[in-house]
Amino acid sequence: MMHNSLLILDRLEAANNEPYNRLRRDPHRHAIKLERSVMKLSNVNYLEGQWSVVLEGKLEGMEEAAIDLKDYMQRIGVDIASNASNFFILREDSAVAAGSFCRDVNENAITLSASDISGLWASIVYLEKEISALGTLALPIGRIERAPSWKKQISQAPYGANYLVPDLDDIYLSDDAFRLLIHYGINGMIIYGDWLLYVNNAHYFELNHPHYDHNIAILKKAAKRAKKFGIALYFVAVSPKLDGNHPIFSRIPSMKGAKISPGLKETTKEIYNLCSSDHDSLNFHGETMAGLFREVPDLGGLILIIGGESYYHCFMRPDMTHIDVNLKTNCMRCQTKTPEQAVNALLAATATAVHKVKPEASVMAWPYSAFVWSSDPAQVELLESLPKDVALLSTIEKDELYWKDGYKKRIWDYSIDFVGPAANLLKQAEVVHKRGIPLYIKTETAIGLECIHIPYMPALHKLGYKWEQVSLMKADGVVQSWMFFGMWGSRAEELGWWKNWKPDLAIDEILNIMANRDFGEDALSYIRAWSYMSEAASHFPYIPIYFTGPEFIGPAHPLVFDEEFEQKPYFEARLYYLQENEETFSTAVNEVKHSLALTKLPYSHMNSTMIADEGVDLVQLVISEYELACDYAKAAFKEIQTLTYPMELRSRNFAREEHVIIEFVYRSLLTTLHTYKFLLAKEQSDRELMLEITRLELANTEQALALIAKAPWLDLNRRTDGDFPSSRVMMEVKINNLNKELAAR
């Protein structure tokens, strides 16, 4: 992924017309003024009278935590005053386990105790959620002790905040971003980018970055600001990909590793990664990463993707043109090793160096798409010799063959349909648990690749069942999202807090709590709508092509009558993920645009991601599955369509957002169904059917355009994982084109 922070900043400032560092999502949006119970019980504190917040300790971030607690209490109707006779006490207590807390409630004091700032924030969030869910100003007198089910919960940055290094100062990543994260139980945040930005090495001086001092200072400040909110930054480090004529290769030829497969543009330049078997190369990796933690001690750890991208080795993306089919790399030194030997040597060099500086830092190896080089599908051979101070990070659902009615669906990436656990993960977990190696689970808490065009899929039963599977893995930590849309602060993401801190509650109980809290007397209707949406998600037939087709463009997707349609430039984008085969700091992804629209049925992709039962037509199967998905989504839409927005601020805001997202999902699925039917009719030269579908889709798109006006955050142009055209503009162009086609025939 390329470094595009300035583009992100310009786009979002222009779109929102407000300061970039002022997030639109409110951590306390569940807080409304609450009533006290009329009937008083002797063992309950009703938070009557005046209260003050007192700090007992010197934990960095205590003042921010106190401000947050005061803010919440004032919103719900508690009288906060500096000279009060009742006290909220935030106490540093070394006897409490890290990340955990104790709460003592008596008649005139509520004491929240923790040994670290993460635990103290956890106690405040727990208190706030408990009161909001209860719906009344009351806390039982007595002592409770709480610990999370998993210690580390790591997320993408919030929507509207940057995650790309080095631009992590407060104009790109505000304190409000960290405050939002911690209110959803998240104590870790992913940052991403090229680690060459942090090189200042006397021996490997050719690779020094000219702005090292500035870059490291920004990272240090960001990590320090995050720490005040109990959050650590985890760096997804992207390795150098260098011109074969780079000066470092001229001076130390042995550092030149595999020639990488060609990228987006035709060029005579050959690109190489650093060799994963060379002493100097391994030494350089170790020194750089150790230096990072020495200079930025508040970093939480490293996430090293060693499968198909990011933390490069000579087996990752080698150009195998004219290379013996029995070999797995074009690097002569690495050909003498197995991939597992080379990768584990790279991980050992990295982790050993890091842990000499910061022993508690998490170094996670993530074999995402490692099937391209590994000796077995579950990477068991790799894990059996994985360095013991390296943790495994693996996905809950990826690389499974999911058996469904009439076909098998390849879960080649994140899915909202299949909740896991994947068979490969179970094998991996068995190995690492036996060896005493920490296990982290990667999941998607709000979406799947079947629906990455929205901030969250309101299929909360389905998402809840996935969290239950995550919980059953007994992991040391969870990475709950990749960097697709941005953490949104939705009920979908809140599910992760409930399963971590209230693991004994069933998903139905959690959904009842959230629905009653947010929608009051209409709660049952929203629960039914979520159930229908969960059924809809169960009929997504396959994981579509990245960032392409109606599943991604939604109702803006055109119906293309002719292969080379005039409006094609309106439906093109720059796709940042394609940076993988480009030179470090290359601007190639800014120079090449890709069509987002399907102009014909994607047979190749369907055949590679679906296996139909004997006698079942694949295209008809896809259409029939989308028909069922549409039916369920329509039922969800109808369930809440007639509900009015109550006057209470809480319900009005929540209801409006949920109405919009449910209808938008329905209209996206309708566009998807219409597109596949249209392309089949086009293939069969059935012009009458094409026109009939066009009329239906025209009406659907007009309704969707009205939704974009109500909720501009649904516009693809707001995304930060690519440079996408405006959904509103695409819809307007599409509507104009469909009207022309109908008028001409």
pLDDT in tens, 297-335: 999 999 999 999 999 999 999 999 989 988 999 999 999
Alpha carbon 503 to chain centroid distance?
Answer: 22
Q: Which of 552, 560, 572 is nearest to 669 (CA)?
A: 552
Which of 196 and 711 is assigned the larger pLDDT?
196
> Confidence class of residue 7 from pLDDT cuts 50, 70 and 90?
very low
Phi, psi (degrees; rounded to nearest 5) at 369: 60, 35
Q: pTM for the complete prediction?
A: 0.95
pLDDT digits (tens, 9 = 90+) for 396-442: 999 999 999 999 999 999 999 999 999 999 999 999 999 999 999 99
Cβ contact 742:694 at 8 Å: yes
Angle ∠(290,294,299) on CA atoms, nearest 5: 90
The C-alpha R_g of the chain, in whole angstroms, comes to 27
Mean pLDDT of 271-285: 97
Q: How far apart are alpha carbons 307 and 288 in whole angstroms?
A: 21
- What confidence tens digit (pLDDT) does each residue in 663-702 have? 999 999 999 999 999 999 999 999 999 999 999 999 999 9
Amino acid at 28: H
Tokens describing residue 492: 């979908």
For domain 20-146, say whether CATH 3.30.379.10 is its number: yes
Using the Cα atoms of residue 494, residue 496, residue 501 and residue 502 in order, give the sign of their dihedral: positive
| Structural domain spans, the chain | 20-146, 153-239+276-503, 535-744
Q: Which helix (H) or strand (E) holds 732?
A: helix 727-744
Q: What is the DSSP letter of 314?
A: T
pLDDT digits (tens, 9 = 90+) for 477-526: 999 999 998 999 999 999 999 999 999 999 999 999 999 999 989 999 99
Q: What residues are paired with 105 via a beta bridge?
A: 110, 142
Q: Which helix (H) or strand (E) holds 469?
A: helix 460-472
Token couple for 664: 């938008």
Partners of residue 440 on adjacent β-strands = 393, 477
Q: Mean pLDDT over all residues of the chain?
A: 92
Residue 113 carries which DSSP code?
A: E
Scored b (16 or more CB within 10 A) or e, 447-468 reads bbbbbbbbbbbbbbbbbbebbe
**Residue 200 per-residue DSSP state:** -
The CATH number corresponding to 153-239+276-503 among 3.40.50.150, 3.40.30.10, 3.20.20.80, 3.40.50.970 equals 3.20.20.80
CB 393 within 8 A of CB 370: no
**pLDDT of the residue at 10:** 46
Give me the amino acid identity at 629.
A
User: pLDDT tens digits for 529-555?
Assistant: 999 999 999 999 999 999 999 999 999
Q: How many CB atoms lie within 10 A of CB 412?
A: 17
Distance CA 152, CA 532 (A): 32
Whether the link from the prior residue into 262 is cis, omega within 30° of 0, is no
DSSP 490: -
What residues contact 394, with CB distance under 8 A and at least 6 apart? 366, 367, 424, 425, 428, 429, 439, 440, 441, 442
Question: What are the residues facing 190 on neighbouring strands?
Answer: 234
Provide mean pLDDT across the span 75-92: 94
Fold match between domain 20-146 and domain 153-239+276-503:
no
Residue closest to 370 by CA, chosen among 461, 306, 323, 466 = 306
- Give the contacts of 494 (CB within 8 A, at least 6 positions apart): 184, 514
